[in-house]
A = this chain, B = another copy of it.
Amino acid sequence: MSLNVAEILHSCRFFSEVQDKAFERLLRIARIAEFKSGSVIFRENQECPGVYAVGSGLVRVFKTATSGKEHTLHLVGPGDTFAEVAAIGGFPVPANAEAVADSRCVLLPRDPFRRALEEDHQLCLQMIAGFSYWVQHLVGLMGDVVLRDAVGRLARFLLNSEADATGMVALPSLKRHLASHLNLTSETFSRTLRRLVDAGVIAPGESNLVQIVNREKLRLIAEGLSPKV
Protein backbone atom coordinates (compact mmCIF):
# COMPACT_ATOMS: atom_id res chain seq x y z
CA MET A 1 0.00 0.00 0.00
CA SER A 2 2.99 2.33 -0.04
CA LEU A 3 2.92 4.86 -2.82
CA ASN A 4 5.16 4.76 -5.87
CA VAL A 5 7.25 7.61 -7.19
CA ALA A 6 4.64 8.99 -9.54
CA GLU A 7 1.94 8.92 -6.90
CA ILE A 8 4.10 10.73 -4.40
CA LEU A 9 5.07 13.44 -6.85
CA HIS A 10 1.49 13.91 -7.94
CA SER A 11 0.32 14.24 -4.37
CA CYS A 12 2.77 17.03 -3.88
CA ARG A 13 1.54 20.58 -4.28
CA PHE A 14 4.94 21.59 -5.52
CA PHE A 15 4.83 19.23 -8.48
CA SER A 16 1.16 18.51 -8.89
CA GLU A 17 0.74 20.65 -11.99
CA VAL A 18 3.85 19.68 -13.88
CA GLN A 19 2.95 18.69 -17.45
CA ASP A 20 3.31 15.24 -18.99
CA LYS A 21 6.62 15.64 -20.74
CA ALA A 22 8.28 17.45 -17.89
CA PHE A 23 6.73 15.02 -15.46
CA GLU A 24 8.16 12.04 -17.30
CA ARG A 25 11.51 13.65 -17.10
CA LEU A 26 11.20 14.05 -13.34
CA LEU A 27 10.14 10.43 -13.08
CA ARG A 28 13.29 9.33 -14.84
CA ILE A 29 15.59 11.09 -12.41
CA ALA A 30 13.60 10.40 -9.25
CA ARG A 31 14.40 7.68 -6.77
CA ILE A 32 12.90 6.51 -3.51
CA ALA A 33 14.60 7.31 -0.21
CA GLU A 34 13.39 5.74 3.01
CA PHE A 35 14.27 6.74 6.54
CA LYS A 36 13.60 5.06 9.83
CA SER A 37 12.19 7.17 12.62
CA GLY A 38 14.98 9.06 14.33
CA SER A 39 17.50 8.81 11.52
CA VAL A 40 19.13 11.96 10.25
CA ILE A 41 18.63 12.84 6.61
CA PHE A 42 21.21 15.59 6.39
CA ARG A 43 23.02 18.04 8.61
CA GLU A 44 23.37 21.78 8.32
CA ASN A 45 26.02 22.91 5.82
CA GLN A 46 26.22 19.59 4.03
CA GLU A 47 26.02 19.62 0.29
CA CYS A 48 22.39 19.42 -0.77
CA PRO A 49 21.46 15.99 -2.14
CA GLY A 50 18.45 17.31 -4.03
CA VAL A 51 14.75 17.97 -3.59
CA TYR A 52 12.84 15.67 -1.28
CA ALA A 53 9.11 15.04 -1.53
CA VAL A 54 7.51 13.27 1.41
CA GLY A 55 5.14 10.43 0.56
CA SER A 56 4.47 9.16 4.05
CA GLY A 57 5.81 9.71 7.53
CA LEU A 58 7.07 12.99 8.95
CA VAL A 59 10.36 14.81 8.80
CA ARG A 60 11.55 17.65 10.93
CA VAL A 61 13.75 20.43 9.56
CA PHE A 62 15.57 22.37 12.26
CA LYS A 63 18.47 24.60 13.16
CA THR A 64 20.73 24.07 16.15
CA ALA A 65 22.61 26.64 18.20
CA THR A 66 26.04 25.99 19.61
CA SER A 67 24.30 26.07 22.98
CA GLY A 68 22.43 22.95 21.91
CA LYS A 69 19.08 24.68 21.64
CA GLU A 70 17.07 23.66 18.60
CA HIS A 71 14.46 25.42 16.55
CA THR A 72 12.29 23.43 14.22
CA LEU A 73 11.60 25.40 11.09
CA HIS A 74 9.23 23.03 9.45
CA LEU A 75 7.43 19.79 10.13
CA VAL A 76 7.17 18.21 6.71
CA GLY A 77 4.36 15.75 6.13
CA PRO A 78 3.03 13.87 3.10
CA GLY A 79 2.57 16.08 0.07
CA ASP A 80 5.20 18.53 1.17
CA THR A 81 8.78 19.07 0.04
CA PHE A 82 12.02 20.11 1.66
CA ALA A 83 15.52 21.15 0.65
CA GLU A 84 14.14 22.59 -2.60
CA VAL A 85 15.72 25.93 -2.01
CA ALA A 86 19.27 24.76 -1.46
CA ALA A 87 18.92 22.29 -4.33
CA ILE A 88 17.94 24.99 -6.76
CA GLY A 89 20.12 27.73 -5.38
CA GLY A 90 23.11 25.44 -5.34
CA PHE A 91 24.28 26.15 -1.81
CA PRO A 92 24.70 23.90 1.22
CA VAL A 93 21.55 23.06 3.15
CA PRO A 94 20.94 25.73 5.79
CA ALA A 95 19.41 23.39 8.37
CA ASN A 96 19.25 19.81 9.63
CA ALA A 97 16.64 17.26 8.68
CA GLU A 98 15.65 14.10 10.50
CA ALA A 99 12.78 11.64 10.23
CA VAL A 100 10.50 11.69 13.25
CA ALA A 101 8.46 8.79 11.94
CA ASP A 102 9.31 6.06 9.47
CA SER A 103 9.25 8.00 6.24
CA ARG A 104 9.15 7.28 2.55
CA CYS A 105 10.29 10.08 0.26
CA VAL A 106 11.11 10.77 -3.34
CA LEU A 107 14.51 12.29 -3.96
CA LEU A 108 15.13 14.29 -7.09
CA PRO A 109 18.93 14.50 -7.18
CA ARG A 110 20.21 18.01 -7.43
CA ASP A 111 22.17 18.12 -10.68
CA PRO A 112 19.75 16.41 -13.02
CA PHE A 113 16.97 18.38 -11.41
CA ARG A 114 18.75 21.65 -12.06
CA ARG A 115 19.33 20.63 -15.66
CA ALA A 116 15.62 19.93 -15.99
CA LEU A 117 14.87 23.36 -14.62
CA GLU A 118 17.18 25.01 -17.09
CA GLU A 119 15.54 23.31 -20.00
CA ASP A 120 11.93 23.39 -18.98
CA HIS A 121 10.20 26.71 -18.66
CA GLN A 122 6.98 25.32 -17.26
CA LEU A 123 8.77 23.52 -14.48
CA CYS A 124 10.64 26.70 -13.77
CA LEU A 125 7.43 28.65 -13.35
CA GLN A 126 6.07 25.98 -11.05
CA MET A 127 9.10 26.22 -8.87
CA ILE A 128 8.81 29.97 -8.67
CA ALA A 129 5.26 29.64 -7.45
CA GLY A 130 6.44 27.12 -4.87
CA PHE A 131 9.14 29.48 -3.69
CA SER A 132 6.77 32.35 -3.29
CA TYR A 133 4.75 30.21 -0.99
CA TRP A 134 7.83 29.39 1.03
CA VAL A 135 8.92 32.97 1.44
CA GLN A 136 5.43 34.02 2.42
CA HIS A 137 5.37 31.23 4.94
CA LEU A 138 8.71 32.19 6.43
CA VAL A 139 7.77 35.84 6.68
CA GLY A 140 4.63 34.77 8.50
CA LEU A 141 6.61 32.60 10.89
CA MET A 142 9.03 35.41 11.50
CA GLY A 143 6.23 37.77 12.37
CA ASP A 144 4.74 35.16 14.65
CA VAL A 145 7.83 34.45 16.63
CA VAL A 146 8.70 38.05 17.09
CA LEU A 147 5.43 39.88 17.43
CA ARG A 148 3.26 37.45 19.38
CA ASP A 149 3.50 36.01 22.84
CA ALA A 150 3.22 32.36 23.76
CA VAL A 151 -0.59 32.12 23.77
CA GLY A 152 -0.79 34.14 20.58
CA ARG A 153 1.55 31.82 18.74
CA LEU A 154 -0.17 28.69 19.94
CA ALA A 155 -3.60 30.12 19.14
CA ARG A 156 -2.53 30.99 15.64
CA PHE A 157 -1.02 27.60 15.12
CA LEU A 158 -4.27 25.92 16.12
CA LEU A 159 -6.29 28.17 13.84
CA ASN A 160 -4.08 27.36 10.89
CA SER A 161 -4.15 23.63 11.49
CA GLU A 162 -6.94 22.00 9.63
CA ALA A 163 -9.68 20.69 11.83
CA ASP A 164 -12.39 18.19 11.06
CA ALA A 165 -16.08 19.06 11.27
CA THR A 166 -16.14 18.75 15.05
CA GLY A 167 -13.17 21.10 15.47
CA MET A 168 -10.71 18.36 16.27
CA VAL A 169 -7.14 19.07 15.29
CA ALA A 170 -4.25 16.63 15.50
CA LEU A 171 -0.97 17.93 16.88
CA PRO A 172 1.79 16.60 14.65
CA SER A 173 4.67 14.66 16.07
CA LEU A 174 5.78 15.01 19.66
CA LYS A 175 4.57 18.01 21.62
CA ARG A 176 8.18 18.81 22.28
CA HIS A 177 8.84 19.33 18.57
CA LEU A 178 5.79 21.45 18.16
CA ALA A 179 6.91 23.51 21.13
CA SER A 180 10.27 24.09 19.49
CA HIS A 181 8.51 25.10 16.29
CA LEU A 182 6.63 27.77 18.24
CA ASN A 183 9.82 28.80 19.99
CA LEU A 184 8.73 27.53 23.38
CA THR A 185 10.14 25.00 25.78
CA SER A 186 7.97 21.97 26.22
CA GLU A 187 7.17 23.14 29.74
CA THR A 188 5.74 26.47 28.67
CA PHE A 189 4.01 24.78 25.78
CA SER A 190 2.24 22.56 28.26
CA ARG A 191 1.29 25.47 30.50
CA THR A 192 0.10 27.52 27.55
CA LEU A 193 -2.09 24.72 26.29
CA ARG A 194 -3.54 24.49 29.74
CA ARG A 195 -4.29 28.19 29.85
CA LEU A 196 -6.33 27.82 26.68
CA VAL A 197 -8.18 24.87 28.17
CA ASP A 198 -8.90 26.82 31.35
CA ALA A 199 -10.14 29.73 29.28
CA GLY A 200 -12.57 27.33 27.65
CA VAL A 201 -11.53 27.87 24.06
CA ILE A 202 -10.17 24.39 23.52
CA ALA A 203 -10.81 21.00 25.09
CA PRO A 204 -8.17 18.32 25.52
CA GLY A 205 -8.74 15.08 23.62
CA GLU A 206 -7.02 11.76 23.82
CA SER A 207 -3.36 11.40 22.81
CA ASN A 208 -2.44 14.47 20.86
CA LEU A 209 -5.81 15.66 19.74
CA VAL A 210 -7.39 18.88 20.88
CA GLN A 211 -10.79 20.24 20.07
CA ILE A 212 -11.40 23.85 19.21
CA VAL A 213 -14.46 24.84 21.20
CA ASN A 214 -14.63 28.56 20.59
CA ARG A 215 -13.03 29.48 17.32
CA GLU A 216 -13.93 33.12 17.50
CA LYS A 217 -12.36 33.64 20.87
CA LEU A 218 -9.31 31.75 19.74
CA ARG A 219 -9.00 34.21 16.89
CA LEU A 220 -9.12 37.13 19.29
CA ILE A 221 -6.41 35.58 21.39
CA ALA A 222 -4.25 34.98 18.34
CA GLU A 223 -4.51 38.65 17.48
CA GLY A 224 -3.66 39.64 21.02
CA LEU A 225 -7.03 41.33 21.40
CA SER A 226 -8.41 39.19 24.15
CA PRO A 227 -8.14 41.18 27.39
CA LYS A 228 -6.70 38.29 29.30
CA VAL A 229 -6.49 34.55 29.13
The chain A residues found within 8 Å of chain B, CB to CB, are: 63-67, 69, 71, 73, 85-86, 88-91, 94-95, 117-118, 121, 124-125, 127-129, 131-136, 138-143, 145-148, 183, 223-225
The residue of chain B having its C-beta at the shortest distance from the C-beta of A132 within the complex is: B89
Q: Is the CB of B224 within 8 A of A67?
A: yes
Q: Is the CB of A131 within 8 A of B139?
A: no
Number of copies: 2
Q: Say how far A213's CB is from chain B's closest CB, in angstroms.
A: 23
Q: How far is the CA of A133 from the CA of B89 in the complex (A)?
A: 7
Instruction: Say what secondary structure dominates the interface of chain A.
Output: helix
Partner of A85, one of B64, B95, B136, B224: B136
The residue of chain B having its C-beta at the shortest distance from the C-beta of A121 within the complex is: B121
Q: Say how far A115's CB is from chain B's closest CB, in angstroms.
A: 12
- Can you spell out 11 A-B residue pairs with CB atoms less than 8 angstroms apart? A63-B142, A63-B146, A66-B223, A67-B147, A73-B139, A86-B136, A88-B132, A89-B132, A89-B133, A121-B121, A145-B146
User: Which B residues lie within 8 Å of A85 (CB)?
Assistant: 131-132, 135-136
Partner of A124, one of B90, B121, B138: B121
Q: How far is the CA of A67 from the CA of B125 in the complex (A)?
A: 38
The residue of chain B having its C-beta at the shortest distance from the C-beta of A120 within the complex is: B121
The residue of chain B having its C-beta at the shortest distance from the C-beta of A147 within the complex is: B65
Q: Is the CB of B63 within 8 A of A147?
A: yes
Q: Say how far A43's CB is from chain B's closest CB, in angstroms.
A: 14
Q: Say how far A118's CB is from chain B's closest CB, in angstroms.
A: 7
Q: How far is the CA of A85 from the CA of B117 in the complex (A)?
A: 19
Q: How far is the CA of A121 from the CA of B148 in the complex (A)?
A: 41
Partner of A128, one of B66, B71, B127, B145: B127
List of 6 A-B pairs having minimum Cβ-Cβ separation, nearest first: A89-B132, A65-B147, A131-B131, A138-B138, A63-B143, A85-B135
